[in-house]
Structure formats: C-alpha cells, structure tokens
Structure 1
Amino acid sequence: MGPDVVGAMRALYDAEQVPRAAALAPAAIDCVYGDHPRNRLDLYREGEGEALRPVLLFVHGGGFLVGDKGGTSGWANAHVGRWAAGHGLLGAVMNYRLAPDETWPAGAEDVAAAVDWLRANAAQHGGDPDRILLLGTSAGAVHVSAFLKLRPDHAKLVRAAALLSGLYGFTPLDERDMLYYGPQHAYAGRMPRQVVVDTELPLLLACAEFDPPRFQAEWAGLLEARLDRHGALPRAHYASGHNHYSMAMHLGTSDRRLADEILSFFATYS
C-alpha cells in the first residue's frame, strides 16, 4: 500500500478510464447534501426516458485522511459513477469529511446525509429514491457499514450494500486509525461489527488477493460470523490478481469479474 502503488494503478488503467471520462460529463456536479464544504456529490446518467432508474451511491476510500470524488480533478472515483450510468443506473459519487479535522462518526453521518439527500432529490435527476444501493471501498466501506449502525432504519432507506476491502472490527486498531476513531479504549464500541453481522440488509463482501492481511482477516472474519449468525454465507467475491486499490479502480475496464458480480447482486435487489 502507499502512494507509489496508487500511482501505478492509475497508470495501469489510464488507457481505459481516460476515454470514458472524456465521453461522459457529470449530469450534476457538487450537489450540496450538508453544511460542510466536503458535503458534495456528483451525479452521472446516460440516456433519457421517463422511467426512474436505481441509484448507486459510491463512497471512496483513502484511509480516513484523503480522497476525492473526482469528476473535475481526474477519472478516479468518478469512474464508478460513469460505470454505473453505463449500466442503466443513476451513479452518485460523494465526498465526505476527513480526519484528523473530523473524527468518528463523521463518515457515517455523511453517508446518512447523502442517502437522505438522494431520497429527497434523486427523482429530479432520473433516479428512484426507493431503490438506492450503496458501494464503498476501504474507508468508504467502513463508512457504509457504520451508516448501518448509525441508522437502525437503514433497511427502509437502501436496498443493498457492497463492501470492498473494509474494516468492521475483527482485527485490532491500527495506529493510523486513531486519527479517526480516537483512543484504543473507544475502538470496539465505535466499530460496526455487530450490525454488519446481524443486519438483514443484503450484503456483498469482497476482498482482493493482494489486500494486506488485515483486510483479508476482516473479510474472512465477517464471512464466518455471518455464517454463524444466519446459517448461510452472504454474497462474496475474492478478486484474484487484484490489490487494495485496483479493487475499485478497475471497475468499468475489460476485467469484468467484480463488476459483473456487483451488477448481478444489485439487480437482484433493485
């Protein structure tokens, strides 16, 4: 992990992602869903028509400290909105507040505020407010799962969630995480572990072959806990050949394995 790997992944996918970025501009940019300057989201849509389409809200990663929805600053993260739009969805890509200036539970609160905004406004942009789907990667997966904890009514607000390489509370706190979560003694009570085990909301859980071991342990721990709790595994995907960053960055490229799994999963519940 690190900026060198991020740069290498962007270079690897530029040939496929840059033309797609040039071909589809945001349908709406910097929609204000909250009071903070980072409470903004962009919308992507292809085609017209009166029928409302499902809404996919993407929450980017960045280790709680960095990340941007893209759109005007580059293809990364914005590409997920474009990919969703290309498959008949209204793609929404959000920014959220970052540590260390903003701490737990800011990310979950922002996901909740974005969902509330989409429920109130998606129809104006061709999206169905009753068919919202969540997709988060890394810290974004953390914030999506924490949204489930923050909002006990989450199953009435969204249809399903796909979590890529997230942290749910099955491994010890990392020192870097304290910038968001605070001290070690507060960590367990702030993680969404129990709710992602117990929720009846349909979940797709994914990790990568070259994810750091901690993320693989989180994925395996949650799968085992869900099996014990529900008597069946949730929908799951192991992305062979991929790493922590390429998991989300390759969506929309010629490698369709994860993309097809996510689309098939969401189609079941939307």
Structure 2
Amino acid sequence: MTDPIAAFGTRLGPDVVAAMRALYQDEQAGHAAASKPVAADCAYGPHGRNSLDLYRQGKGAGLLPVLLFVHGGGFLVGDKGSHADEQDGWVNAHVGRWAAANGMLGAVMNYRLAPAETWPAGAEDVSAAVDWLRAHASAYGGDPDRIVLVGTSAGAVHVSGFLKLRPDHGAMVRGAVLLSGLYGFTPLDERDVLYYGPPDTYADRMPMAAAVQTALPLLVACAQFDPPRFQAEWTGLLQARLDRHGSLPRAHYASGHNHYSLAMHLGTRDHRLADEIRAFVRQHTL
C-alpha cells in the first residue's frame, strides 16, 4: 500500500495541503463535532485578524495550563479554524480541541498577514495575544501564569519573533514549542521577503539570536518529509543551542510526517508528537 504522506516526498503546495486535510478529515471532523469553543472570536487587539478562540472541557476546580497555538501559512495565508464549520473548519482549531481534551485551556489565534502587514506584525500579534490571555484567561478557567506557546511553520517564526521582541518573555510564558520553523540559518526566499522586507534587513529581523539565546524551555520539532531547508533550520538551531548552552533543547523528529501533517495530525491516533508536547507542558507548568 502506498504511504499517502511519503508519496509527496518533501513537496509543498496547495495539493499537498488538500491531501493532508483529506487524510485526517474523518477523525478530526469527529472531534470538532464533539467539542465547541467556550469563547469564540475574542478580540485581543484592534485589527480584524486580532482574534482567538478558547477551548476547555469540563468545569473542574482550579485553573488549567494555557496552550496558545499559532498557525502556519507562509506569512500569507492561514486561519485559526472555524468553530461553526465542523467538516471543513477543523484545521488549526483541532489543536485547541486537543489541548482541551488533555487538561488545558486551548487558545487558537489569528494574526495579521503579509504582504499587507509586514515584520514585526506577526510577533507583535503573538505578544498581544499573550498579554490578553494573561489578563483574561482566568475568566475561562486558564491560569495566566502557566502559558505555553506552540507555533508551526510561520507560526513558529512568529513565536520566535515574540521571544525577540519581548525581553521579559520568560516572565510571561513557561515554554515554547517550535514546529518546522525558520529562524535564520538558511537564505531568504521570495515569500520571506514579502514579510521581512529587503534582504539587507534580513539578518537584523530574523529571530535566530533570540531562539538560540533564550533561557525559556523549548521543544523543537521537524518532520521526516519537511523540505531540506526546514530540516537545516532544525539542525542549525539544535547545534547553535548546544554551542551556546552546552546541552540540547527537548527535540522531536517526526518520522513519517511532512511539513503539513506535523501539526495537522495532533489529536489523531498517531500520538507520538502529542505525547511530547503534553509531557513538555506538564514538565514546565507544575
């Protein structure tokens, strides 16, 4: 039988996205039908895309750790998912539902997109969402002092950018999970320029130094079928962290997955990455 993920190799593109969505459609749509947000389209800032949804299961005593998910989309596209459309809107919302099913308050955010909005808009929006959660999470059963960030692809870039913009990030969040991000270890490409601007500004704007230097706990992951550039970014960050700190951060290599399935499969029967994230959150939110 042909492996539907391996068959695409390391290619990126809308056809691969569609195939991965179809691969997980039945399982993830079932979760969507069973779990609605406790709050939808919460405005964390003035822009139309400054909104987030919150997911929680049950009303037990005590405040829960908060997991904030930042979607990917190459800086140009992406959405937190539709809380009203169970069949087609589960992508990205599924991470909030997974967090809720695992004893957390799940938050899934939108952010401003390029080319209309350029650097550091994404990082600023992550910062504003964290500020909003610290002010409001307790009203929905979340602990504002136990926030963990998870970003995939461009979302991982924006989480890293938050580390760069906010020197006080260690007092604001407990940890960060970076899935297949770009941190500045490889050359700029055309899509990056639409967000970062001219190449002569690239070095100053990429979040490499912050991702390397931060004392914040990190979980850094990439996929077996990530394009070579993303794999080089992963290995580059690991090596730079080893050189800087004398030890590696927590890391995960997702065998059998590609750039899109890495985040899209969270909450499915393949729970290897989910187990890593859950253990990371528990370790740093006790």
TM-score (norm 1): 0.99
1:208-223 equivalence runs, <5 A: 208-223=223-238
Give the Cα separation in 2 of the matches to 1:258 and 1:133: 16
Pick from 24, 39, 43 the counterpart of residue 28 of structure 1: 39
Pick from 139, 164, 169 the counterpart of residue 154 of structure 1: 169
Residues 46-88 of structure 1 deviation map (CA, whole Å, 9 limit, x = unaligned): 0112300000000000000000001235100000000000000
Residues 90-148 of structure 1 deviation map (CA, whole Å, 9 limit, x = unaligned): 00000000000000000000000000000000000000000000000000000000000
1:172 lines up with 2:187 in the alignment: yes
1:1-270 equivalence runs, <5 A: 1-70=12-81, 71-73=83-85, 74-270=89-285
Unmatched 5+ residue regions in structure 2? Answer: 1-11
Give the Cα separation in 1 of the matches to 2:117 and 2:240: 31
RMSD (Å) for aligned C-alpha atoms: 0.6
Give the Cα separation in 2 of the matches to 1:221 and 1:49: 42
Deviation at 1:176, TM superposition (A): 1.2
TM-score (norm 2): 0.94
Match of 2:8 in 1: none
Deviation at 1:29, TM superposition (A): 0.2
Q: Which amino acid aligns with 1:144?
A: V
Residues 134-165 of structure 1 deviation map (CA, whole Å, 9 limit, x = unaligned): 00000000000000000000000000000000
Q: Which amino acid aligns with 1:227?
A: L
Report the 3-state secondary structure (helix = DSSP H, G, I; strand = E; otherwise coil) of the residue aligned with 1:247. Answer: helix
Structure 1 stretch displaced more, 156-165 or 46-55: 46-55
Q: Which amino acid aligns with 1:65?
A: L
Q: Which amino acid aligns with 1:119?
A: R
Q: Deviating runs (4+, > 2 A) in structure 1?
A: none
Give the Cα separation in 1 of the matches to 2:136 and 2:191: 36
Q: Which amino acid aligns with 1:26?
A: P
Give the Cα separation in 1 of the matches to 2:196 and 2:92: 24
Matched residues, number? 270
Report the 3-state secondary structure (helix = DSSP H, G, I; strand = E; otherwise coil) of the residue aligned with 2:281. Answer: helix
Deviation at 1:15, TM superposition (A): 1.5
Give the Cα separation in 2 of the matches to 1:162 and 1:176: 23
Report the 3-state secondary structure (helix = DSSP H, G, I; strand = E; otherwise coil) of the residue aligned with 2:161. Answer: helix
Give the Cα separation in 1 of the matches to 2:247 and 2:127: 28
